[in-house]
Amino acid sequence: MKIQLHPDSFNPWQELQDYQQQRLSKQQGEFGATASFVGTMRDFNEGDQVSAMTLEYYPGMTEKQLGKIADDAQQRWELIDVLIEHRVGEIKPGQPIVLVAVWSIHRGNAFDACRFVMEELKHHAPFWKKEVLEEQSRWVESNTDGYK
């Protein structure tokens, strides 16, 4: 398992490839499924144009909560590994915010666990978003429902 917060932009596809090659190379024949999710910043929210966002977090607590979410997924499903990488700091539209990847023997476990990790992260990880609009900024009070 790997949990990493990025203060600068990152390439989720390269991170995924590197992690699989470096950490899972000895297990290549063990997993039959890799499910991944990459979230990027939109340039709109709640009907307004958004030009940037600052993502704040609680150092130590955030990583611990992300680890707990990954552990919970590993207890619910038969998983080989879990990777969570998340941006913090200033983010611009189009930049990646989050990468969640899950490896398992079968696709059902991988799909279900990946979705679970992402939804738990959105609703329980201590991150705070402040959006920059045309004439003001605002704190985002709640996340969208991932099941819509």
Q: Which CATH number is 67's domain given?
A: 3.90.1170.40
Banded pLDDT at 26 (limits 50, 70, 90)? confident
Q: What gap in Å lies between CA 58 and CA 74, rounded to an integer?
A: 24
In this structure, is residue 147 part of a structural domain? Answer: no
CA atoms within 13 A on the CB side of 134: 4
Which structure tokens are listed for 87? 């941006």
Answer whether residue 47 is part of any domain. yes
Look at residue 60 and tell me if it is in a domain.
yes
- Residue 146 belongs to some domain of the structure: no
Contact 6, 66 (CB under 8 A): no
pLDDT of residue 15: 97
- Residues of the chain with pLDDT > 90: what percent? 84
With respect to residue 56, please indicate whether it lies within any of the assigned structural domains.
Answer: yes
Q: Is residue 144, in this structure, part of any structural domain at all?
A: no
SS3 46: coil
Question: What average pLDDT does this structure show over 130-147?
Answer: 86
CA distance 65 to 97: 17
Q: Cβ of 127: how many Cβ atoms within 10 Å?
A: 22
Q: Could you tell me the pLDDT band of residue 147, with boundaries at 50, 70 and 90?
A: low
Q: If you average pLDDT over every residue of the chain, what do you get?
A: 94
Question: Which amino acid, one-letter code, is at 21?
Answer: Q
Global pTM reads: 0.93
Cβ(34)–Cβ(102) below 8 Å: yes
Query: Could you tell me which residues are beta bridge partners of residue 91?
Result: 53
Q: pLDDT per residue over 63-83, tens digit each?
A: 999 999 999 999 999 999 999
Tell me how many domains the chain contains.
1
Q: Is residue 145 part of a domain?
A: no
- pLDDT value of residue 148: 60
Q: Are 106 and 34 in contact (CB under 8 A)?
A: no
Domain that holds residue 59: 2-22+32-139
Whether residue 106 is contained in a domain is answered as: yes
pLDDT tens digits, 82-100: 999 999 999 999 999 999 9
pLDDT at 28 over 80: no
Q: Kindly state the helix (H) or strand (E) to which residue 74 belongs, with its residue range.
A: helix 61-76
In the predicted structure, residue 59 carries a pLDDT above the cut 70: yes
| pLDDT, average across residues 44-57 | 95
